[in-house]
Amino acid sequence: MNESEMSDLARLAPAPAARDLPAGRQQILKEHLMTEFRLAQQAGATAPRRGHRGWSRPGRGPRLAIVAGVAAAAAVAAAVILVPGPTHGGGSNSAGATLLAKFATAAERQPAPQVGDGEFMYIRSVVAFSVDSITNGHDTVTMQKPHERQVWLPVANICVTGLIIENGSRTPLTSSTGCGEGYVNDPTYRLLQSLPTDPRALLTLIYAQTKGAGPSPDAEAFTTIGDLMRETIVPPRTAAALYRAAALIPGVTVVGHVTDAAGRAGIAVARTTGQERDEWIFNPATGQFLGELDYNTVTGAVTGESSVLQRAFTAKAGQLP
């Protein structure tokens, strides 16, 4: 897989309407995002702008809550073969499916690490979150300044306390959903290793465990796969299955010539729900996942972005690789 091939794929799909902004608008938006934003001053509760695992991190974290319908996930997982698979359309367009297939092939060629049960997944990122704040009865939305975030997640048991270091704060991550390997919205590395490697079976499981969450089953499935890629370490065979499962979700398209929050050039796989567009950004030469960008297709306003800088395993939470 090379950059020329990726460029050819990108040309198969037209750029989305949100990219056809007036001249200079993109630079204005970038400058606006990179300006120091006032963090929400709370007279009341502060809530995440979005309800999924990605941009909800400041309020929920990966271990503090779980999407509706997963309380009985053990039973759902045991009976997943009885749950109908996606029936919402014919999957992504040809360019999106072809690109995801190339990423899947590249992913499954990577070596699988040997990891002990007592270790932690370590992910270092640059992120910016959009949050709602309620002040004096008024709901306002603000963007954080892009900042570094470090997360330690347990390899084998969600009962084990993890850690987030962000904005100068150290926040323990504890599970409120019991013990064990977790679920697709609250996974350990062992859970990721155990997921089906057949794309349709994997997508069926994701639909089952996220039932009732998000604006639609397709949107929540796309969100869940993006969350898993962004802030976990996914085993190679599972990563390949996730990419192929994403290709089965309707509405997935290709966007060329994008830049992640760290300034790295890439190519994106994208999906739009209502006015919200999610883009997964990849290295065009290697297929490596770089980060994610969310924005409003009407206003062009960025609602969240992340760039993964480092992934590794460590012996304990708080330890650097």
Q: What is the DSSP string of 4-18?
A: HHHHHHHHHSPPPGG
Whole-angstrom distance, CA of residue 217 vs CA of residue 190: 25
Burial label for 75, CB within 10 Å (0-12, 13-18, 19+), is exposed
Whole-angstrom distance, CA of residue 42 vs CA of residue 113: 43
Q: How far, in Å, are 97, 209, 246, 273 from residue 250 at the CA level?
A: 10, 19, 9, 11
Please tell me the predicted confidence (pLDDT) of residue 177. 79
Long-range (24+ apart) CB contacts under 8 A made by 295-298 are 295/18, 296/18, 297/16, 297/17, 297/18, 297/272
Q: How many helices (H) and strands (E) does the chain have?
A: 9, 13
- Blockwise average pLDDT, block size 10, the chain, 321 residues: 53 43 35 30 29 34 29 27 35 80 95 96 94 80 91 96 96 88 95 97 97 94 95 97 96 91 94 95 94 94 94 98 96
- E-assigned strand segments in the chain: 46-48, 120-135, 138-143, 147-154, 162-166, 169-173, 182-183, 186-187, 253-259, 265-273, 276-282, 289-296, 302-314
259 contacts 266 by C-beta, under 8 angstroms: yes
Q: What is the CA radius of gyration of the chain?
A: 19
Of 270, 25, 68, 114, the residue nearest 60 (C-alpha) = 68
User: Phi/psi of residue 223, each to 5°?
Assistant: -60, -45
Report CA torsion sign: 172, 178, 184, 188.
positive
Q: What is the DSSP string of 216-241?
A: SHHHHHHHHHHHHHHSS---HHHHHH
Please tell me the predicted confidence (pLDDT) of residue 311. 98
Q: Is 257 left (phi over 0), alpha (psi -120 to 50) or beta?
A: left
Whole-angstrom distance, CA of residue 138 vs CA of residue 55: 21
163 contacts 171 by C-beta, under 8 angstroms: yes
Please tell me the predicted confidence (pLDDT) of residue 91. 57
Q: Is 167 left (phi over 0), alpha (psi -120 to 50) or beta?
A: left
Please tell me the predicted confidence (pLDDT) of residue 74. 28
Please tell me the predicted confidence (pLDDT) of residue 130. 84
Please tell me the predicted confidence (pLDDT) of residue 156. 97
| Residue-range domain boundaries for the chain | 3-314
